Amino acid sequence: MEEASSEDQLDPARELAHAIRLRSARMVARHGFGYLGQALSSAETFGVLAAHWWRPGRDDLVISPGHYIICAYAIGVELGLMDEAALETYGEDGSTLEAIGTESSPVVDLTCGSLGQGLSGAVGFALAARLDGEPRRTYAFISDGELQEGQTWEAATFAGHHHLDGLTVLLDANNSQVDGPIDTITTIEPIADRWRSFGWDAFDVDGHDVGALHGAIDQAVASERPAVVIARTSTLRGIDALPVDADGHFIKLPPEVADAAITELEGR
Amino acid sequence: MRTAPFEVRLKPYGTALVDLAREREDILCLSGDLTRQCEVDLFREAFPDRFINGGMAEANLVGMAGGLARRGYMPFLHTFGVFATRRAYDQVAMAVAYPNLPVRLVGFMPGVSSPGGPSHQATDDVALMRALPNMTVVEVADATETRQVVAEIADLPGPVYLRLKRGEIPVLFDDDHRVDLRQAQVLRRAERPGGVVLVASGMMVAAAAAACDVLEDHGVPTTLVNVSAIKPLDAATILDAVASADLVVTAENHSVVGGLGSAVADVLAQAGSTPPLRMIGLQDVFASGGKAATRLFERYGLSTSDLVWAAWAGLGLAAPAPKVVPPPVTDETYAPV
């Protein structure tokens, strides 16, 4: 287990988070709208995970909500797993980089557009690793909206019962879904206690604080149970140029806002 | 092919899966809380480390099967057919069919073979699975085919839905019979032109064979085709069989919407200039419960008599149609209704 990291040690995570925001803004700017809010809320989560924990080609990475796949494309380029030029095809006709993740999505081992399905696939990966007797880990990224889907809890039940300690869930709690803030539609709290009641360890942290995220993932990986890191986040985080009332699920990015956002990010 | 009443076997599927798993370490057995009912208590005893019980959570079970298949395993997933397909349809579509993974969905208790009511009767499972790209849909007719089909589907590319009768499984075929997933099998070919072609799958093969006997006895040239792979359907054999016939009758223990009858209709319509078609099956209804499956086969028009009547009327022969005399059945034997 790593010791609580110094600021310098976390710089790669911060840089990756910044790159996720900038590359995502550029991808979405070409279309004028898209899943930018997902990248803004999860940038630090993916930054810490990819910079410090996930070992590509060895550990399994699941991005359950395919709307976050834009983060994988950005990470893929940053880690040299895919060609930078491919990002220009994001969401275009005939591209393998679809706006909602598909079977052609690079970088990840599994992504799902139909929400609430990814954790079950991740449980399958973790079971396979156990059957293989390999120390391969499974990192499953899921969203708070997916807690409305019953299948998420079916998977949580199974993983808790079988003590699948090779499974770590990163849960982006951005309180955003298509029809508005999640808490105005259904109550999903208390998130951490719900997971604990299923036999999981749960760590509830500020999802834009890389130090807090690092410490939580460290504990989650070390846990003898399956564990979830709940990252409390905002879909507008990190770009002041966005209107405060922007729809975080599907952000509109007209040219003047896009230019301002990208200029702002490039200035950091 | 033997004649009714047929002797029965117990657990031909479960036995065959254990045999295959001895040779193939990639095979895993997944159960959704219906382990004995799906004959895989045998697997649980033989290979406890490769047996995974997901409980009553079919969506998760299918999703886990997808994950395991992506990591080199071949999951055989067991539950009742209605839960394997209708209950977890989006999961089957997205976690198994779309990525074209070698998951074997094994659904027991087809159609009205259960008196458990619409909640337990798989009456649209074939239609649902046929609609999915990459999916192979298989239904077998007896214990001999059941025993053989396990190894046959293991070697198919992509996902498979295998539809199996539960409980006492009749033996229609001798051991020299081979189940065929590449071709529809012409079990009996009419020796004269005209007459009817009966195209049947699963439990309706025994009924169609009985109907075949009655019709031939009454002078109607009758060809009998056993379809094991409903998808992909062997169009060539079916078109060849119907070429000189005056009528085609399909028989399925399933809704006539989207199942074998629909699949045959697709083939006939696209070929053009084929005989008219009558479909035996559930006529777009949910089947109400009953004390015994035999009563449901009668009530919903899935009996041997229904097949004979459909052929007789469809050929424009003068009423009444010949009467079907069912063979005597004991607790140890099986005959179609």
Do B191 and B158 lie in one domain? The reply is: no
How many domains is chain A built from?
1
> Is A147 part of a structural domain of the chain?
yes
Task: Note whether residue B180 is domain-resident.
Answer: no
Residue B89, chain A, CB below 8 Å: the answer is no
Task: Please check whether residue B263 touches A, CB under 8 A.
Answer: no
The answer as to whether A70 is a domain residue is yes
The CATH number for B135's domain is 3.40.50.970
Point out the catalytic residue in the list B7, B23, B39, B58.
B58
Using DSSP's 3-state secondary structure scheme, residue B91 falls into helix
3-state secondary structure A26-94: HHHHCCCEECHHHHHHHHHHHHHHHHHHCCCCCCEEEEEEHHHHHHHHHHHHHCCCCCHHHHHHCCCCC
Spell out the per-residue pLDDT of chain A, length 268, in tens.
444 556 789 999 999 999 999 999 999 999 999 999 999 999 999 999 999 999 999 999 999 999 999 999 999 999 999 999 999 999 999 999 999 999 999 999 999 999 999 999 999 999 999 999 999 999 999 999 999 999 999 999 999 999 999 999 999 999 999 999 999 999 999 999 999 999 999 999 999 999 999 999 999 999 999 999 999 999 999 999 999 999 999 999 999 999 999 999 999 8
CB contact under 8 A, A103 and B98: yes
Is residue B156 located within the same domain as residue B202? no
Is B166 contained in some domain? Answer: yes
pLDDT in tens, chain B (337 residues): 999 999 999 999 999 999 999 999 999 999 999 999 999 999 999 999 999 999 999 999 999 999 999 999 999 999 999 999 999 999 999 999 999 999 999 999 999 999 889 999 999 999 999 999 999 999 999 999 999 999 999 999 999 999 999 999 999 999 999 999 999 999 999 999 999 999 999 999 999 999 999 999 999 999 999 999 999 999 999 999 999 999 999 999 999 999 999 999 999 999 998 899 999 999 999 998 788 899 999 999 999 999 999 999 999 999 999 999 988 888 899 999 9
Residue B194 and residue B276 share a domain: yes
Residue of chain B nearest A153, judged by CA positions: B60
In a domain, A2, yes or no: no
Answer whether residue A3 is part of any domain: no
Q: Do B73 and A131 touch (CB under 8 A)?
A: yes
Q: Residue B51 corresponds to which tokens in the numbers above? A: 């047996």
B204 and B117 in a common domain: no
What is the domain extent for residue B195?
Answer: 185-334
B193 lies in the same domain as B164: no
ipTM: 0.96
Structural domain tally of chain B? Answer: 2
Whichever domain contains B244, its CATH number is 3.40.50.920
CATH code for the domain of A212: 3.40.50.970
User: b vs e for B244-253, b when ≥16 Cβ sit within 10 Å of the residue's Cβ?
Assistant: ebbbbbbbbb
* Set of chain B residues whose Cβ sits within 8 Å of the Cβ of A113: 94
Same-domain pairing of B224 and B267: yes
- Helix (H), strand (E) at residue B64: helix B58-70
Classify residue B113: in a domain, yes or no.
Answer: yes
A124 to B70: CB separation less than 8 angstroms, yes or no = yes
Q: Which residues contact B181 (CB under 8 A, 6 or more apart)?
A: B136, B138, B149, B152, B153, B156, B228, B229
CB contact under 8 A, B66 and A124: yes
Say if residue B93 is in the same domain as residue B134: yes
Residues B163 and B193 in one domain: no
Q: Which of B63, B90, B98 sits opposite A121 (nearest CB)?
A: B63
Is residue A22 included in any domain, yes or no?
Answer: yes
How big, in percent rounded to 5, are the helix, strand and coil portions of chain B?
35, 20, 40
B46 falls within a domain: yes
Query: Do the domain assignments include residue A1?
Result: no
A–B interface: beta-carbon pairs under 8 A? 88
> Is A89 within a domain?
yes
B79 and B192 share a domain?
Answer: no
Of the three residues B123, B139, B170, the one that is the final residue of a domain is B170
* A205 close contact with B: CB closer than 8 A: no
Q: Cβ contacts of residue B93 below 8 Å, gap of 6+?
A: B132
A133 touches chain B (CB under 8 A): no
pLDDT at A2: 47
Inter-chain CB proximity B63 and A114 less than 8 Å: no
Taking contacts as CB-CB distances below 8 angstroms, the residues of chain A near B91 are 117, 120, 151
Q: Does residue A157 sit at the B interface (CB-CB below 8 Å)?
A: yes
Q: Cα–Cα distance between A67 and A62 in angstroms, integer?
A: 13
Which range of residues forms the domain containing residue A98?
Answer: 8-266
Do residue B158 and residue B31 come from a single domain? yes
Extract the runs of DSSP E, i.e. beta strands, from A188-257.
201-206, 227-232, 251-252
Active site residue B58: yes
B226 bridge partner residues: B185, B200
B142 shares a domain with B238: no
Instruction: Tell which residue, A97, A128, A68, has the closest CA to residue B101.
Output: A128
Residues B236, B128 share a domain = no
In a domain? residue A133: yes
Domain-located, residue B175: no
Q: Does A109 touch chain B (CB under 8 A)?
A: yes
Write down the pLDDT at residue A1: 41
Residue B178 lies in a domain: no
